[in-house]
Amino acid sequence: GLVHGRMKSAEKQAVMSAFKQGELHLLVATTVIEVGVDVPNSSLMIIENPERLGLAQLHQLRGRVGRGAVASHCVLLYKSPLSKTAQKRLQVLRDSNDGFVIAQKDLEIRGPGELLGTRQTGNAEFKVADLLRDQAMIPEVQRIARHIHERYPQQAQALIERWMPETERYSNA
């Protein structure tokens, strides 16, 4: 069977139903099958060019097999050489099946991007903090900042002006 995003919903449903019922033994699909597909007898998935997909998407795709009692495998086919970043990303999938671990590693590799901007990847250009390195300290820093702001508002404002010109305020702290 074949499933892709340009098919009408009813066509996709018919093919998926036939696959789930065992009438089809092979399904070739685009990433349209990323979520919402539960076929327990699926035992092999081959993903071509996995370096083009995000870690979360690869994790979701991989999760489409291995839902039944039969041993399953997910094979990632790529052409060498891979970039260092692609190698790191695929290694994360080899090392873990835990979605939270994969998400954390993805954040470390891609960077958080801009909190208030349009860039979704890359390292945030904070002057003081590093979101990944300092994440455990953020609640305590917030508590201290509130305390300083409430008890010493003039000094707090002076610190803000010293560290952040008005044009950069609040998006790059």
Across the range 8-27, mean pLDDT stands at 90
Residue 69 lies inside a defined structural domain of this protein: no
Instruction: Kindly provide the b/e burial profile for residues 10-40, where b requires at least 16 CB atoms within 10 angstroms of the residue's own CB.
Output: eebeebbeebbeeeeeebebeeebbeebebe
Q: Is residue 159 part of a domain?
A: yes
Classify residue 139: in a domain, yes or no. yes
**What are the pLDDT digits (tens) for 55-111?**
999 999 898 888 888 899 999 999 999 999 999 999 999 999 999 999 999 988 887
For residue 93, is it within any domain? Answer: no
CA separation for the pair 38, 64 (Å, rounded): 7
Q: How far apart are CA 34 and CA 53, in angstroms?
A: 11
Q: Which domain holds residue 134?
A: 124-173
Which amino acid would we find at residue 136? A
Please indicate, yes or no, if residue 38 is contained in any of the structural domains. no
Q: What gap in Å lies between CA 74 and CA 47, rounded to an integer?
A: 7
State yes or no: pLDDT of 119 exceeds 60: no
Mean pLDDT of 43-65: 91
Write down the pLDDT at residue 170: 54
Q: What is the model's pTM?
A: 0.65
In a domain, 22, yes or no: no
Q: How many domains does the chain have?
A: 1
Residue 155 within any structural domain of the chain: yes
Pairwise CA distance, residues 162 & 48, whole Å: 51
Arithmetic mean of pLDDT, 21-30: 90
- Decide if 76 is inside a domain: no
Structure tokens, 160: 């803000």
CB atoms closer than 10 angstroms to residue 65: 20
Per DSSP, the residues of the chain read -EE-TTS-HHHHHHHHHHHHTTS-S--EE-GGGSSS---TT--EEEEE-GGGS-HHHHHHHHTTS--SSS--EEEEE-PSPPPHHHHHHHHHHHH---HHHHHHHHHHHH----SSSS--SS----SS--TTTTGGGHHHHHHHHHHHHHH-HHHHHHHHHHHS-GGGTTT--
